[in-house]
Structure formats: structure tokens, C-alpha cells
Amino acid sequence: MQVLARLFWMTGNNKYLEYGFRLADYYLLENNLLEVGAKLRLRDHGCEIASGLTEIYAAAHFVNLEKKKQYEGPIHRLFDRILEVGRNEHGMFYNWVDLSTGEHDERLCDTFGYTYNGFYTLYLIDGTENYRQAVIHVLSNLNGNYRDYDWENGSADGYADTIESALNLYNREQVDSTDAWIDFQTQTMWRKQQPDGLIEAWHGDGNFARTSIMYALWKSKGLTIEPWRDDVLFGADWDNGKLYIYLKAEKDWQGKLKFDFPRHKKNLHLPLDYPRINQFPEWFTVDPAKKYLIKLKSQQESATISGEELLTGWQLMLKATKEQPMIVQQME
């Protein structure tokens, strides 16, 4: 369902959405998960049923209101029940839950955010504040309760999934202390890399790489440099509508500082940037039609730059070991 919804938006081909509707019909209209007594798996790939349903639901919201109306009651009843019996007091989901009886596994799933992606999508579509508050609740409990939790029996794959879970949600709700937990978890995950570069020598190592990229995009707010050089340090953070950038190089460097763009629109053609599994979240994106004010704090200089130029790359020169702070903000 996740793939079909995204293929529909990327291609505009209705056959993908029709296939998605068939699956959503099965889960929401024909085979009621609240009554059949089957265990709903919320860990790893089982969690993709719930979040996949919300991606089809989001598509229906924009292109087929009749189908959305059919799904609205069933999908909200399903998600309400998951909240009722599928999580602990901190908002962490159990590995599986029987929605009809409330029976559940005592173990917690590392992919908690994959399911909460769906809750937040429903909040964005229908304004269901309770679902937003559920996301805020789990994020607020991470740092105080799950710093040393043994995810997936110590596997880096488990840590990668928890970090991805938190990053996607933190991108939408900047809950205090969540950033500290993400930093702590990432350092723990990175310590699992072996001297030869391998992590655990299986396909799950790809999760380590993907999550590391997600983490780097967060710390850089989507910025990159061209040409790349590993001695050039850069990072960014925002506050009150301003992007604060820091750069420093061990040796003189000259090149371009490139900014991110709304990838969900340009690449995927999505009408809404809802949270989704394996997404590289957007942190600071530039509109090519807008103007931006850049202030170099060290030199007290400022310039007005077009968004198009920021996307293609703003020319910059760094002197060896000299810090270069900058502030960027969109102009009205």
C-alpha cells in the first residue's frame, strides 16, 4: 500500500491507486481487524499495514472523496483501538496485539515511529488532535526511559529503526529532550561499526547507513557542499524562522554551499509531506521563486540571494581554520 500510493503520485497512473484501494478495502471494509481475533503485528514489516492504510487514505482524501468517506470511520476505529490496547504507559507499541481481546506481547517494537507515522498522517488529514498528542507523548518519554533499552538484542538494526522512528516524528514535532535522545542513540549505534567498516555483515547494515544519512541531514538541515572535502565541517540549526549555519575547514576551501528543496513535491509529486517509512525528512527547504537574506556574522556583511541560486549553489570561500557563521532567512 505504501508503494502503490507513492507510485500513484509519482506517475499519475490510476491503476496503482486502484490496486491500493483493493488492499484497503480488504483491511477496512471486508476483513475487520477489530473482530477477527488475529494478532496485528506492529514491529518491523507488520507495522506497515497500519501506516500503509493511511497512505492510501491520504490519496483518497485528495482524489477520491467518496472512497475516503468509506474508509474514514473504519480507519479511525482501528487506530483508536491500537492506541487503547497496543502501547504501554510511555506510548511505546508492543510487538503485536490482538485488537479484539487486548492481549499483547510484552516486548516493545523498535519501529514504533513507523506506526506513529500513520497516526500523524491522519492528524494532518482529519485534524484528529488525539493522534498528534499520542506522537508528542511518546517523544517526550524517550530520553527519560529508553536511553539504555536493549533494542533487537543489541543489533544495530534495532537502534537504526528507533532513530529513524524518532527523527521522522521530531521533524514534525520538536519535543524537548527528543534531540538529546536521538544523539545518544546514534552514538550508541555508531560504536557498533567494526574497524573494517562492516557493522554486522548482513543486509541490515543498510539500515545503519540510511539512518546515518538521515541523522546527517538533520544536523546539516539538508545543506551540502560542492566539491566535497572531508575536512570541511558544516552544520545548521534554525530558530524563529532563521537558519544558523556554521562552516570551518582545516585548509582553504572554495566552492558552493547548496540548499535543499521540497523533495516531496518535486520528486514524488506528493500534495502533502506526511511522515513515511524510510523518508529522508526535509528540514530547511528553499523556494526558487523567493528571495533570501544571507548575513555573514563574522564580517557583518549581508546579501540578498534568489532561491534558485541557493539551490544551484552559493559561491563561498573558507579560510583555513577560520570559523564562518552565517544566518539565512526568507524575505517577505
- Helices 156-170 and 129-145 cross at an angle (nearest 10°) of 130
Q: What is the dihedral of CA 91, 160, 192, 210, to 10 degrees?
A: -160
**Ranges of each domain in the chain:** 2-220, 224-330
In this prediction, the residues of the chain whose per-residue pLDDT falls under 70 are 35-37, 297-299
Backbone angles phi, psi at 83, to 5 degrees: -65, -35
Taking CA atoms, 235 is separated from 222, 232, 293, in Å, by: 9, 10, 18
CA distance linking residue 128 with residue 154, whole number of Å = 36
Could you tell me if 214 and 223 are in contact, meaning their C-beta atoms sit under 8 angstroms apart? no
- Chain centroid to CA 105: 26
Q: 1.50.10.20, 3.60.90.10, 3.20.20.210, 3.30.420.40: which CATH number matches 2-220?
A: 1.50.10.20
Neighbours of 132 (CB within 10 A): 17
Beta bridge partners of 246: 235, 325
- Enter the C-alpha cell of residue 81: 483501538
Alpha-carbon distance of 123 to 125, in angstroms, equals 5
String of DSSP letters for 46-94: GGHHHHHHHHHHHHHHHH-HHHHHHHHHHHHHHHHHHHHHSB-TTSPBB
DSSP state at residue 44: G
- Determine the pLDDT at residue 57: 98
Beta bridge partners of 314: 257
- Measure the CA–CA gap between 320 and 227, rounded to whole angstroms: 16
Per-residue confidence (pLDDT) for residue 46, from 0 to 100:
86
What does the block give as the cell for 186?
A: 546514534
CB neighbours of 322 closer than 8 A, spacing ≥ 6?
248, 298
Residue at 137: amino acid letter:
H
What is the predicted pLDDT for the residue at 37? Answer: 64
For residues 95 and 110, give the distance between their C-alpha atoms in angstroms, rounded to a whole number.
9
Three-state secondary structure call for residue 311: helix
pLDDT at 273: 98
What CATH superfamily classification does 224-330 receive? Golgi alpha-mannosidase II (2.60.40.1180)
**Rounded to the nearest 5 degrees, what angle is found at the Cα of 217, between the Cα atoms of 211 and 220?**
145
The confidence score (pLDDT) of residue 299 equals 58
HEC profile of 152-219: HHHCHHHHHHHHHHHHHHHCCCCCCCHHHHHHHHHHHHHCCCCCCCCCCCCCCHHHHHHHHHHHHHHH
Q: How far apart are CA 320 and CA 249, in angstroms?
A: 6
